[in-house]
Amino acid sequence: MLTTASPALDQRFGLARRVTLPGPLRLDSGALLTPVEIAYETYGTLAPDGGNALLLCHALTMDQHVAGPNPRTGKPGWWTRMVGPGRPIDTDRFFVVCANVLGSCMGSSGPASIDPATGREYGMTFPVITIRDMVRAQAMLLDHLGVARLAAVVGGSMGGMQALSWAATYPDRVAAAVVIASTARHTAQNIAFHEVGRQAVMADPHWRGGDYYGGEPPAAGLAVARMAAHITYLSEAGLTEKFGRRLQAREQKSFGFDADFQVESYLRHQGLAFTDRFDANSYLYITRAMDYFDLAEEHGGLLAHAFRGTGTRFCLVSFDTDWLYPTPESRSIVQALNAAGAPASFVELSSPYGHDAFLLESPELERLVAGFLRAAA
């Protein structure tokens, strides 16, 4: 063991941690990544037998600050209603780990990291990564933390893809998996929306083939990418309820191309705010990883094969207005789990908020997750 100190004093545990693991990490592309930097946070206390560890996997543009304050913005974590003492993912009970995914820009290795071979940012020389590569990097982190087996892995959206990939890649290390508003593969439509975003970034003259570090970043392109993506996270009813055709701070249309409509102003704000916190190249790499995700393809074309002989208990949740990863995607995962004989629970929740519902207030979701984890993990 690395340490015999009490867990409270163990430097591996706590908020805003970062570790450099020597690797190498062999990626799906065949490339080797050395070293592997991982930024992460832990909450709660790892039980002496290591049996209470729970891995939280974050979505595309999220970060490791799931329940602790974000040190850069000072804002509370992005899932505080779900994670914390006495919350559904109870940090009094679980030792919760959340790591920034590989390819991202919040402290883990990604295109904005320094390539030790050149002393400069990787940019587009960073290897293309997959969801399974993210999971392998997380497994390296858990080895470092002394966690052999997870009581549960939990994730929404891209986090759910990681949870599925965890169960398929390391079946012996996962007792339970919670997969919320997610999918086992990106559809043509999913890929199409991502490609719009990537092309918007690449069309920005500041992108310069990804070699913009130290100069002006491709903020305009990234903002457009975020605007397009943001629409897919909402529902038509949600947009109508929030904005309708209402005009933005004016009595009548301007007969010009200002943000006349509130929805335009909102999207522009979302796009701009995003560029302050996210690296454009990371956006390219992570969306690519999501597009490449097809769990069935990794297992001979049959999704059920991904779960053959699994002992993991599964909990899947979809939302009825989510058109990014609609309920039939979850249902096909459930069918594969049934075919594999895996114990699975699934429920479709009702919400007006589309894909984003999993991050918003949802007492039903909180009750479900709490109940499932109380019983299963």
Partner 1 sequence: MNLRPDLAIIARHVRAGARVLDVGCGDGDLMAALRDSRGVDARGLELDATNVALAMARGLPVIQGDADTDLAGYPDQSFDYAILSQTLQTARAPDRVLDDLLRIGRRAFVSFPNFAHWRVRLSLLWGGRMPVTRLLPERWYDTPNIHHLTIDDFRAHLRERAITVEGAWFLSGDKSTSETAANFLAEHAVFLLTRNPSA
Q: Of 162, 112, 160, which is closest to residue 136 (Cα–Cα)?
A: 162
Q: Is residue 296 involved in binding partner 1 (CB under 8 A)?
A: no
In whole angstroms, how far apart are CA 283 and each of 13, 111, 280?
28, 10, 5
CB of 174 to partner 1, least distance (A): 16
DSSP assignment of 328-356, as one string? HHHHHHHHHHHHHT--EEEEEEP-SSGGG
CB of 346 to partner 1, least distance (A): 5
CB of 88 to partner 1, least distance (A): 11
Q: Is residue 341 involved in binding partner 1 (CB under 8 A)?
A: yes
Instruction: Read off φ and ψ for residue 333, nearest 5 degrees.
Output: -65, -45
43 by DSSP, 3-state: which? strand
Binding part of the chain for partner 1, among 123-131, 228-236, 254-262, 309-317 by CB under 8 A, reads 309-317
Q: Which of 129, 224, 315, 359 binds partner 1 (CB under 8 A)?
A: 315
Query: What are residue 115's DSSP bridge partners?
Result: 120
Q: Which of 16, 128, 347, 360 binds partner 1 (CB under 8 A)?
A: 347
Instruction: Please confirm, yes or no, whether 345 is among the known catalytic residues.
Output: no
Radius of gyration of the chain (CA): 21
177 by DSSP, 3-state: which? strand
Could you give the CA distance from residue 143 to residue 147 in angstroms, rounded to a whole number?
6
- Which pair of tokens denotes residue 214? 């130290």
Q: Closer CB to partner 1, residue 61 or residue 327?
A: 327
Q: Closer CB to partner 1, residue 218 or residue 326?
A: 326
Q: Residue 338, class by beta-carbon neighbours within 10 Å (0-12 exposed, 13-18 middle, 19+ buried)?
A: middle
Q: Which of 211, 247, 335, 360 binds partner 1 (CB under 8 A)?
A: 335
Side-chain-facing half-sphere of 249: CA atoms under 13 Å: 5
Residues 6 or more apart in contact with residue 255 via CB below 8 angstroms: none
CB of 374 to partner 1, least distance (A): 7
Could you give the CA distance from residue 5 to residue 86 in angstroms, rounded to a whole number?
27
Q: Is residue 193 involved in binding partner 1 (CB under 8 A)?
A: no
Binding part of the chain for partner 1, among 4-12, 151-159, 283-291, 311-319 by CB under 8 A, reads 311-319
Q: Which of 334, 351, 357, 358 binds partner 1 (CB under 8 A)?
A: 334
CB of 301 to partner 1, least distance (A): 17
Of 108, 157, 182, 282, the catalytic one is: 157
Of 63, 133, 204, 322, the catalytic one is: 322
DSSP assignment of 228-261, as one string? HHHHHHS-HHHHHHHTTT-BSSSSS--SSSS--B
* Residue 226 host element (H or E): helix 219-233
Could you give the CA distance from residue 166 to residue 206 in angstroms, rounded to a whole number?
37
Return the amino acid letter for 366: E
Compose the 94-133 pattern: x for residues touching partner 1 by CB under 8 A, - for all others.
Answer: ----------------------------------------
Instruction: Please confirm, yes or no, whether 269 is among the known catalytic residues.
Output: no
Q: Is residue 93 involved in binding partner 1 (CB under 8 A)?
A: no
Binding part of the chain for partner 1, among 29-37, 105-113, 280-288, 333-341 by CB under 8 A, reads 333-341
Return the amino acid letter for 149: R
Q: Closer CB to partner 1, residue 315 or residue 359?
A: 315
Question: With CB under 8 A, what is the number of residues at the site for partner 1?
Answer: 26
The interface with partner 1 within residues 353-372 (CB under 8 A) comprises 364, 367-368, 370-372
Instruction: Please confirm, yes or no, whether 113 is among the known catalytic residues.
Output: no
Q: Closer CB to partner 1, residue 339 or residue 360?
A: 339
Of 108, 318, 355, 356, the catalytic one is: 355
Contact 46, 147 (CB under 8 A): yes
Q: Of 289, 346, 344, which is closest to residue 318 (Cα–Cα)?
A: 346
Which positions are catalytic?
157, 322, 355
Residues near partner 1, by CB under 8 A: 313-315, 331, 334-335, 338-339, 341, 343-350, 364, 367-368, 370-372, 374-376
